[in-house]
Amino acid sequence: MLPLKEKDKPIIQKLLVAGCCARCILRFCCVGVQSAYRQPEQVTLQEMQAFVLKGENEKVQDPAAAASTGEDNNSHDAAEVLEGPPCKRVKLDPGDHADPSEDEKSNLGESQVCVACLGILQDLCGTNQAVKIADTVKAQKYEFDSLVLSISLPAQLCVREHSCWLHVKKEVREKGLVLDKDDVIQVKEAFKWIMQSLVAKELGGVAVVGKSGFEVGVEFTHPETDSDCHFLAKVCPDCFKPTKNKQSVFTRMAVVKALEKISDDKFLKQYPCPPARPACSCVPQDVQCLHVSVFIAGRYNKFCRSLPQTPWLIDGERRMESSVEELIAAPILTAFRAGGFNFSSSGREDVDVRTLGNGRPFAMELQNPHRSRLSKLEMKELQETINKSSDKIRVRDLQIVTREAMGRMKEGEEEKTKSYTALVWTQRPIQKEDIGFIDEIKDLTLGQKTPLRVLHRRALAVRQRVIHSMNARYVDDHHFYLRLKTQAGTYIKEFVHGDFGRTKPNLCELLKTDTDILELDVESVDVDWPPAIPE
Ligand SMILES: *[C@@H]1O[C@H](CO)[C@@H](O)[C@H](O)[C@H]1NC(C)=O
Ligand SMILES: *[C@@H]1O[C@H](CO)[C@@H](O)[C@H](O)[C@H]1NC(C)=O
Ligand SMILES: *[C@@H]1O[C@H](CO)[C@@H](O)[C@H](O)[C@H]1NC(C)=O
Ligand SMILES: [Zn+2]
């Protein structure tokens, strides 16, 4: 039995005549019992008609009462609904209520598409639709524990809803009944009540819940009634401002805002109440699946002096055939079947600089991953695949992290230390003793004007950086290796060659001869994130 009350009768009658579907009528009667929506719409319609008729029959037996309450016109409406048109009298088929067969549909003379939901709570809300959604999800082979169903409705549904509400409100006011617009069940809500369990069933019992990292989006459009919203632009021009990425200014939000501003009188003058009957139902768009990003972190070594960290483009032309991020990302994208990535790291090295030691921490956002978990073993295999894919890079400590944890990589980056080894050339011939003093220098503060080579992308400034310690190892009378432990962000090349005096002090000054840097290696990046993974 439908949870309807005597006071709902006039609303039911009014909306049946207006061309609302049975489920929309339940919504306007503020029925919050989910099972009432889940039963087939045609069954609900029959029960509703019986409910109204029962009352009217009693009244017909007492014509005086009917006359005195002034309900003649209503009883007439009810009779009309119950006797015809034929579409309202679809016979009951206990096998498949939700989806009347094609034969049944073609028998319907007049359109029976609901004026309020434009068919969404009718044929577009049942087993057929659930199968279509489930098939899309299955075809894309996502791995997930639960999913959230999201629904996008045409904006004009708000206008139609408002019109139906005003239609009901008149009735309610005359009868002295109270009804709050906020108590009316939303189309979206009713759709979910019906569809969540159907989709769950089609997917073999997965949890279809209110919140999940896996979202399945169902969108409906209804081109036939798109112009329903247009009159609102004159009422509230401020509500409809063109925005860059939206195709139409008539977004749902803008329409809701305009409807809040417009007075009932004004609305009723410009829009039919109840809304006009549509010829056809909404058009379901392709089902969209989206999984929240997965974040992965690790450390990388780079053993090559001709590999940029990110694709190197000059005037749109590629300069190097690959990059650190692409070499790392390709196997990871395959393993997680992700749609895209966003790479970041704790600092970066120049194209000709190697990164040795324990490597440089990096993190990647994997967008729309079809897999979101890997076992320890799979993770190790993935690491091996990356290691074997090229001799230019290696990775370690590969692991899944949270978005929040990623922030720790960038936290206090400037205070962290980095160690380097530079191969230095000196113009003046040197002996071992000439470079011994370098080892004694501690916490040397440099003033570094933005290097010439990065001026095109960094603001001109003088930055203070500290070299904590250095160690020189003699090679021959024009070469030595210089080890440096520095504050992160120190420009090492500029410290060695002086950058035309833009870095002070510099190695040329200290050694009193021209010096240049031939090779540079990063030996360690002292950031304790991500945590090391024991082998
Ligand atoms: C019934 O409808 C007629 C016109 O359709 C109208 O003139 C009359 O006032 C209505 N009566 C009631 C009681 O609403
Ligand atoms: C990539 O990540 C950076 C910082 O981690 C963020 O600012 C940027 O918006 C991201 N880009 C995309 C396309 O997600
Ligand atoms: C990949 O290479 C790194 C660096 O040499 C090493 O630490 C790690 O164990 C390797 N991992 C696998 C699974 O081969
Ligand atoms: Zn409806």
Q: What is the 3-state secondary structure (H, E, C) of 174-190?
A: HCCCCCCHHHCCCHHHH
Contact between 287 and 216 (Cβ < 8 Å): yes
CA of 101 to the centre of ligand 4 (A): 19
Q: Is 400 exposed, middle or buried (0-12, 13-18, 19+ CB in 10 A)?
A: middle
Q: Say whether 279 sits in a helix, a strand or coil.
A: coil
Domain containing residue 336: CATH number: 3.30.70.2510
- Give the span between the Cα atoms of 113 and 280, in whole angstroms: 6
Three-state SS at 447: strand
- Specify whether 152 is located in the same domain as 283: yes
Looking at residue 238, what is its pLDDT? 87
Query: Of the candidates 267, 289, 311, which is a domain's last residue?
Result: 289
- Same domain as 43, residue 23: yes
Domain presence at residue 489: yes
**Do residues 118 and 35 both lie within one domain?**
yes
Q: Which residues line ligand 1 (CB under 6 A)?
A: 70, 72-73
| Residues 204, 63 share a domain | yes
The answer to whether position 535 is within a domain reads: no
C-alpha–C-alpha distance, residues 126 and 44, integer Å: 14
Q: What is the largest CA-CA distance in the chain?
A: 124
534 in a domain, yes or no?
no
Instruction: Compute the distance between CA of residue 37 and CA of residue 119 in angstroms, rounded to an integer.
Output: 14
Does one domain contain both 285 and 310? no
CA of 407 to the centre of ligand 3 (A): 25
Separation of CA 268 and ligand 1 centre (Å): 20
Compute CA distances 180 → 160, 167, 168, whole Å.
Answer: 17, 14, 11
Q: For residue 69, which ligand has an atom nearest its CA?
A: 1
Alpha-carbon distance 72 to 70, whole Å?
6
In 140-284, where does DSSP find H-type helix? 156-174, 187-202, 231-235, 252-261, 264-270
Contacts of 99 (CB under 8 A, 6+ apart): 123, 126, 127, 128
Please indicate, yes or no, whether residues 202 and 309 belong to a single structural domain of this protein.
no
3 state SS for 390-423: CCCEEEEEEEEECHHHHHHHHCCHHHCEEEEEEE
Centre a 10 Å sphere on the Cβ of residue 111 and count the other Cβ atoms it contains. Answer: 16
CA distance 494 to 509: 12
Q: What is the pLDDT of residue 59?
A: 53
Q: What pLDDT shows up at residue 406?
A: 84
Residue 196 lies in a domain: yes
- Distance (Å) from CA 300 to ligand 3 centroid: 10
Cα–Cα dist 56/66, whole Å: 9
Number of domains in the chain: 3
What residue owns the CA closest to ligand 2's atom 5? 344
User: Which residues are close to ligand 4, an ion, with C-beta < 5 A?
Assistant: 21, 24, 114, 116-117, 121
Cβ pair 164, 24 in contact under 8 A: yes
| 533 occurs within a structural domain | no
> Does 273 share its domain with 127?
yes
What is the model's pLDDT at position 64? Answer: 45
Residues 178 and 172 sit within 8 Å (Cβ to Cβ):
yes
Nearest Cα to Cα of residue 303 among 179, 379, 393: 393
Note whether residue 173 is domain-resident. Answer: yes
Tokens of 340: 């895209």
pLDDT at residue number 16: 94
Whether 184 is covered by a domain: the verdict is yes
Same domain? 365 vs 274: no
Q: Using CB atoms within 10 Å of the CB of residue 535, give its burial: 0 to 12 exposed, 13 to 18 middle, 19+ buried.
A: exposed
Which residues surround ligand 3 with Cβ inside 6 Å? 301, 380, 383-384, 387, 394, 396, 535
Q: Output the tens digit of pLDDT for each of the chain's 535 residues.
A: 789 988 899 999 999 999 999 999 999 999 999 999 999 999 999 999 999 988 666 554 444 444 444 444 444 444 444 444 444 434 344 444 444 444 444 444 456 899 999 999 999 999 999 999 999 999 999 999 999 999 999 999 999 999 999 999 887 777 766 778 888 999 999 999 999 999 999 999 999 999 999 999 999 999 999 999 999 998 888 888 887 777 788 999 999 999 999 999 999 999 999 999 999 999 999 999 999 999 999 999 999 999 999 998 888 888 878 999 999 999 999 999 999 999 999 999 999 999 999 999 999 999 999 999 999 999 999 999 999 999 999 999 999 999 998 888 888 777 789 999 999 999 999 999 999 999 999 999 999 999 999 999 899 999 999 999 999 999 999 999 999 999 999 999 999 999 999 999 999 999 999 999 999 999 999 988 999 998 7
Q: Which residues are known to be catalytic? A: 350
**In the listed set 355, 375, 409, which residue is the last one of a domain according to the structure?**
409
477: CATH: 3.30.70.3190
Q: Go through 177-210 and write b for each residue having 16 or more CB atoms within 10 A of its CB, e for each that does not.
A: eebeeeebbebeebbbbbbbebbbebbeebebee
**Domain around 364:** 294-409
Atom of ligand 2 nearest to the CA of 340: 13
From atom 1 of ligand 1, which residue's Cα is the shortest distance away?
A: 73
**Residue 313 DSSP code:** E
Structure tokens at 256: 């809701």
Which tokens sit at 18? Answer: 């207006």
Does 302 share its domain with 219? Answer: no
The token pair that represents 531 in the structure block: 């945590």
CB within 8 Å of 95: residues ≥ 6 apart: none
Determine whether the shortest distance from the Cβ of 310 to ligand 2 is under 6 A: no
Q: Of 356, 378, 409, which closes a domain? A: 409
140 and 184 in a common domain: yes
Residue found by looking up tokens 């081109």 in the block: 223
Q: Which residues of 444-471 are buried (b: 16+ CB within 10 A; e: fewer)?
A: bebebbbeeeeeeeeeeeebebebebbe
Q: Per the domain annotation, does 531 fall within a domain?
A: no
Q: Indicate if 249 and 337 belong to the same structural domain.
A: no
pLDDT at residue 79, rounded to an integer = 43
Same domain, 279 and 332: no
> What pLDDT was estimated at residue 313?
82
Determine the Cα–Cα distance for residues 276 and 225; give it in Å rounded to an integer: 10
* Nearest residue (CA) to ligand 2, atom 8: 342
